[in-house]
Chain A
C-alpha cells in the first residue's frame, strides 16, 4: 500500500517536473545548483541526479540552452536559459495544467444525485 502511494506520487511529480523546471527558468537563467535547490524546496524532486537527464532532453528538444560561466571558485558552471520555443512550450503546458486542475476539481465536486 505504502509502496503504491509512493509510486503514484512519483508518477504525478514526474508528469509536472518538466513544467516546473521550465517555470523556474522562465523567471531567469539559473545554474543547476539554483534549479535543484528551488525544486527541492518545493519537494518536486527527492534526489538531485534525476534533473540532469531531463535538462539534457529539454536542451536537445530546443526548449532551453546553456552557456558556460566562470564561477568564483571551482570549475565553470552551466547556466541554463529558456529559448523562445521553450517559452511557448511552457505557456501551453501551463494552460493544460490549469485545465487539468479544473477537470480534477470538477470531478471531485460532483454530487451523486
Chain B
C-alpha cells in the first residue's frame, strides 16, 4: 500500500522512465524490470503487514534506482541504437525528376521512389489531383541542400565520420 503522495511520486517517476525509453523497442521490458525491483525494495521496507509506504520511502527508492539523468550517462549499450536519428522529410534535389519530392519520400519511408512517382502519375491521370498534391509538397517540403540536411534525410547520425 502506498499513501497518496507516495503513489503520485512513484507514478511520476515511472511515467518519466517510460518517456525516456519511448523510442526503445524494449521499453516495456526495461520499465517492468525496474518496477519489480522497486516492488522488492518496498517488500524489504514493509515489516508489518498492511504498513503504508510513504513519500520518504518512495524518494529513497527512487534515489537508489536513479533518475533519468543517471540513465542518460550510463545506460547505453550500443550508442548507435540510441542516438539513431529518424529520417526527416526533405526533397532530394540530387536525385530528382521534377522537384525531388518522390525521392525524398523514398528516403523517408525507405521505399523505392519509383513507387511514389507511379502513384502520383496515376492520381494525376485521374483528374489531375496528383499534380496538385505534388506541387503543394514541392512548395511545403524543404530541399536537402547542406550535408547535414542530406544526412537527416537519410536518417543517418551526424558525426565527424560521415560529414
- Interface residues of A, Cβ cutoff 8 Å to B: 7, 10-11, 13-14, 17-18, 32-33, 36, 45-50, 52-58, 60-61, 73-75, 78
Contact = CB atoms under 8 A, between A and B. Distances in A.
Contacts of A18: 77
Contacts of A55: 33
B66 interface: yes
B77 A33 contact: no
Contact of B34 (A7, A10, A52, A54): A52
A60 B78 CA distance: 11
- State which size class the interface on B falls in: 20 to 34
Contacts of A57: 26, 77-78, 81
Contacts of B78: 57, 61
Contacts of B24: 53
Contacts, number: 74
Q: Provide the main secondary structure of the chain B interface.
A: helix
A49 B66 contact: yes
Given A47-B70, A53-B26, 16 more contacts: A7-B73, A33-B37, A45-B74, A47-B64, A47-B65, A48-B65, A49-B37, A50-B70, A50-B75, A52-B34, A53-B24, A53-B30, A56-B29, A57-B78, A61-B78, A74-B43
A33 to B, nearest CB: 7
A73 B49 CA distance: 14
Contacts of B65: 47-49
Contacts of B36: 75
B100 to A, nearest CB: 37
B45 interface: no
B66 A48 contact: yes
